Structure 1
Amino acid sequence: MDALLIGISLLDIWVHIEDDEPQRRAAALLATAALSLRRRLPLPAFLCALPATLVSDAVFATLAALYALASLSRSRVLLVVCALMFAACDITWWMWPSPTFADFSDSSDLINVTYSLATAAAPVFLGQLVQARRELSLRLAEISQAREHGRELLAQSVLAKERAQLAREMHDVVSHQVSLIAVRAGALQVGSQEPMAREAAATIRRLSVQTLEELRHMVSVLRAAGSRPTELTPQPSLADLQRLVDTSGIETELHTDLPDALPATIQRAVYRTVQEALTNVRKHAPGARAAIRIQLAEGTVRAAVTNTAPTRPALLLPGAHHGLAGLRQRAELLGGTVIAGPAADGGYELHLCLPLQQTR
């Protein structure tokens, strides 16, 4: 745009100023050069371009500078004064030492004065219109942003109500039932005479207490809707794998040689995969043995969980069948894959592959 305006101004100089008029040419060239300052210093640019209107007919640069001033300035008085200055210079023919002024008694000069005033008013009105349009666009953007913010607040309010209702249900129903399980398991542990039954009751009681603690933490998180972000539970890592295996109630071999400095997302994905695999073994393959092998090879974390065929019939337990789907989604988010299926010996196997480089 700068190059285009300067080019048109130079063409205006070439058309209206002869070669033997160096003073007028210098004033017009100064006005052309002032166009480069019209955005940062619109008023000085207009004042530098004004002498060209006084001494010549090359007025394009002055009009462009006046338009820039009108599109950036909020002072109506300043714009009126500048427009009158342009009209006064336009109707004055400066010829040193005797300048010629318009004669208002002459009808032709009066027409010229009217034309000069209209010429000065045009860039002022156009600049003000562009300024109003620009401000209107900004206001519309602000309104849209405020409306979007209002929708987000409404969604958060609805979500907070749903979370509060869910917290009440978990506290009133689930926590009560898990507490009852822990109490009954404790009574069975104390009253039973068989060692295996007492051990099973102790395991049930320990898992019930742990589940109850996690439920209470989740209830507190759900009730804290709208406050600062809170972790749902303390996030597990590879250091918790051995405890997970020991409390699974399954005869399991664990082999791992992963370094401790793996990203937290990788550690959580491996832990959740092993946890889901052991849960499936416990539900669908009672009496089976499991083997867990985790290693880092060629920049890829590989975890394999296999189990033998079940030795007794599986109990019918409720389930939503979302476990493996959730593992696959978690792995895909980290650029990895999960493959699961029956093994040749009648058991089951699950393989997790996670590229280490993509998660950093």
Structure 2
Amino acid sequence: MGHGRRGWWAQHGLGVVYDVAPPVILLGLGLLDVFTGAFAIPVGEAPPITALVPGALSCAALLFRRRYPLVVLVVVLVLVFVPPLVLPMALTYWDEFAVWLVAMYSCSRHLRLRSALVALGVGAIGMVVLPLEFAELRDAGDIVYNSFLVGAAFALGLLTRTLAAYRLRALEDAARRAVAEERASARERGRIARELHDVISHTITVIVMQAGGARLAATQNPGVAVDALARIERLGKDSLGELRTLLTVLGEGEPDKAAPAPQPALADLPSLCERMRELGLTVRLHADDVDGASMGVQLAAYRVVQEALTNVLKHAGPVDVDVVVGLDGHGELRVEVSSAPGWAAASVPGSNRGLAGMRERVDALGGTLAAVPRTDGGFVVTAGLPEPPA
């Protein structure tokens, strides 16, 4: 129970203080005026004690000023003007007129502008009636001064409301920026994760298969083993260059003095296909001249081909593969990797991220991806990559 009360107070305590403190303070000042006249002598010919009940009720009405500001203003004005019509009543400053000012402030602070203007009109009517009912307030200076106080209270409420709206808008904008930055960060992390998967998966697959071939040929045909190890070395260096590029983007460590390796593009497809031929795939590349495609589209197309060929090598072995890259009639870059049936390789386990990574990469560009088996037992991967809008 103790924790519950503390939790409630932490959530609502400031609002309770805000609601209760002004009425209590004004009531205390009003009581001092009624009994001592210490701050402001009550107005009217009746004894000051006659203002005690209307003043106390006016202060009590202020407790609801945030929820029902216009109603509170009307109640306060009724308590100020109606009792003197029935019985001789005095008017105190702090627990009646000052309460009126607080009610005016609350109307302009918490009501919509149209309703706040209605409250201003009600307050203006009150300022007309006030000198008619209390002769002591008919002096021109008093009328101007009291009217100024009512107008100032209304203007202060509008100013506070405007500042609060600006503050709320700033907080909302900051929250939206934080969400947008988090989403952008998540997209960037996803992009880098796809790049890392494509680089590492392809590299490890090729290294494992080349190392296996080198191991088998080491005793009977050392020359073949040396060639395989040379390919492993070359592939490792190329992959390290790509990894350095990604790590530079991530800001990990000091960048190398040498420029980072550029991201692969469609111009690098022949060398990729050549590396796969060295591993046993019979790759036939049919690529149109599409160097005008944006670098993002070219990188995505290269990664699709790379992942598809790597999957063929892992799951089908040394089979025939056709790679077709070109533009369709709508200016969209089309990629197709079609492989003949082969055997399932169990020596290189998959990460189950290859196809998902390809789909995420293509979806990020607003493209389409399909990976379906052929009727003869092979497999075909097709991707459509539109140019992103400028």
TM-score normalised according to structure 2 size: 0.48
Give the deviation of 1:293 after TM superposition.
1.0
| 2: CA distance, partners of 1:332 / 1:146 | 29
Alignment of 1:122 onto 2:150: yes
Give the deviation of 1:284 after TM superposition.
0.6
| 2: CA distance, partners of 1:334 / 1:134 | 43
Partner of 1:209: 237
Partner of 2:298: 267
Which residue of 131, 138, 151 corresponds with 1:111? 138
Size of the aligned set, in residue pairs, is 230
Partner of 1:340: 371
Which residue of 281, 284, 296 corresponds with 2:327? 296
- SS in structure 1 of the partner of residue 318 of structure 2: coil
CA contact (8 A) 2:242 2:263 kept: no
CA contact (8 A) 1:331 1:337 kept: yes
| 2: CA distance, partners of 1:135 / 1:148 | 20
| 2: CA distance, partners of 1:307 / 1:353 | 18
Alignment of 1:254 onto 2:285: yes
CA contact (8 A) 2:335 2:383 kept: yes
What is the identity, as a one-letter code, of the residue corresponding to 2:237? V
Which residue of 323, 337, 362 corresponds with 1:331? 362
- SS in structure 2 of the partner of residue 345 of structure 1: coil
Give the deviation of 1:116 after TM superposition.
3.8
Give the deviation of 1:216 after TM superposition.
4.5
Partner of 1:286: 317
Taking only the aligned residue pairs, the percentage that are identical comes to: 30
CA contact (8 A) 1:291 1:306 kept: yes
| 2: CA distance, partners of 1:130 / 1:332 | 49
Give the deviation of 1:347 after TM superposition.
1.3
Larger CA deviation: 253-262 vs 284-293: 253-262
CA contact (8 A) 1:340 1:348 kept: yes
After superposition, the C-alpha distances for 1:320-351 in whole angstroms (9 at most, x for unaligned) are 21111121222222222111111122211111
Matches within 5 A, 1:1-360: 108=135, 110-113=137-140, 114-142=142-170, 193-224=221-252, 234-248=262-276, 249=279, 250-299=281-330, 300-310=332-342, 313-356=344-387, 359-360=389-390
| 1: CA distance, partners of 2:260 / 2:368 | 25
Cα 1:233–1:142 change in 2 (3 A) is farther
| 1: CA distance, partners of 2:245 / 2:299 | 19
CA contact (8 A) 1:277 1:305 kept: yes
CA contact (8 A) 1:303 1:351 kept: yes
What is the identity, as a one-letter code, of the residue corresponding to 2:318? G
Partner of 1:47: none
CA contact (8 A) 2:241 2:261 kept: no
Cα 1:192–1:211 change in 2 (3 A) is farther
| 1: CA distance, partners of 2:297 / 2:248 | 27
| 2: CA distance, partners of 1:150 / 1:329 | 24
CA contact (8 A) 2:314 2:344 kept: no
CA contact (8 A) 1:221 1:232 kept: no
What runs of 5+ residues in structure 2 fail to find an aligned partner?
Answer: 1-107, 109-126, 129-133, 194-203
| 2: CA distance, partners of 1:271 / 1:337 | 15
What runs of 5+ residues in structure 1 fail to find an aligned partner?
Answer: 1-70, 72-89, 92-106, 167-176
TM-score normalised according to structure 1 size: 0.52
CA RMSD of aligned residues (A): 4.4
CA contact (8 A) 1:256 1:295 kept: yes
